[in-house]
Structure 1
Amino acid sequence: MEIKTIDLIRNSELLNQVTIDYLRKLIVRYPYYQTLRLLLLENLYKVHDTQFNEELRHSAPLLADRSVLFQLVEGEHYEIEQQVAENPVGAESGDRTLSLIDEYLCDVPQEKAARKTTSVEAAQDYATYLIQLDEEEEKALYPKAARAGDEEKTPARKHRIVLTEKDDSEMQLPSEEEPQKEDFFTETLAQIYIRQHKYELALEIIRALSLNNPKKNSYFADQIRFLEKLILINKNKV
């Protein structure tokens, strides 16, 4: 039986072990044909092929809209609940969707320093995510503020983060005798801009840090990617 691509697009029930080889040959001829790559991924997923994960990581960067891929493979496991009038869909739900997509497709490397392991899925917004990641650095820079925060905590809230308005206003610039703390300060300043929803200013700082710290490119690239998404979401609100 002759296989036709248009038939596979119209009816995914035709996808089987035989069509995998057919699609792979077409992709060799047309490597940037996104429809073929989506079909191949769906085919591998449907027949439970062991090469699915490898093909997924290889093809994901080549797709213009990865949300289509997420919907194709995992969409049936996630249902978006209809929001009532008093609780319209806002930035929180948008961040949640983007986090699910990125967490599924990307295995983000963790910092080797003494940082908390934080699930992106558990974070409701990027500001909270950054605060949890860099809590220890802020304590190292501002030990007095950290001790004051610890005194306010009750035993039941021992591991919770306490944020006060004084944290932002009392921050002091590091002296010239402490150049090793400059990167920590600028990254903390970026976090302040994020809390104030000044995402463009925070993005400029993170990009500068990325250029000055080539060894931490992957870490800063993750932050840059999230900030760009926040900026885009804010623009779409207007």
Structure 2
Amino acid sequence: MIKRLIALAFAAAATLCSSVALAAGGGPLLDSQVNINDKSSLQRGAALFMSYCAGCHSLGYQRYSRTAKDLGLSEEQVMSYLNFTGAKFGEHMKASMDPADGAVWFGKAPPDLSLVARAKPGGPNWTYTFLKSFYVDETRPAGWNNTVLAGASMPNVLWGLQGIQRPTYGEHGEIAGFELAPAGSQTPEEFDRTIRDITAFLTYVGEPAALKREAYGVWVILFLAVFTFLAWLLKTEYWRDVH
């Protein structure tokens, strides 16, 4: 029994460590504070993703029709504001760019992002921190680098909103922070919300069933509580004569 408890304690500690995993630059991942039950956030995130990310990145496991149903959007809204490739309503959300072209332009084809919020250590926190951590690096082919994924081929497509981050260095040559020069079209608070909305949308895409699962979970707990009470009454009745 003691060994089992120790094993559970180590497992819990490992989970905690993964949620606050260190980024490549040495800093902790930021808390994304995403809420997949906030449909307004998911709708904004979907619009932002399709406007800034879907040119290169597909969501190969997600369909336009499923997005409309889960996010409370009509077919007309999805096809007018989220579909830029001419795909049918029931088809998967594919990137506009040919993967072969991506391999030529960026060194490798941009990955499908359907599961990025689940696959990376730290989950949504990784995605959130990654999108906030681009900085100018003239040694890179695209002119950008990232503290979370050093040497990333992806340029900072959101620089117009965030502004251009330029690193400041510590006494040992490590990146100590960033300064915006020039600033973007959004304030830091507005940009935080933008990144949180994109992260929330990608978190939802990684497991669309979570929306219903979490809603059903409350009712399951209530059922188990009532069932436990009835089982206790039944046990009391059966054992009354034994005592």
Q: TM-score range by the shorter chain?
A: under 0.3
Task: Identify which of structures 1 and 2 has the higher relative contact order when contacts are C-alpha pairs closer than 8 Å and 6+ apart.
Answer: 2
In terms of fraction of residues, the more strand-rich structure is 2
TM-score (norm 2): 0.22
In terms of fraction of residues, the more helix-rich structure is 1
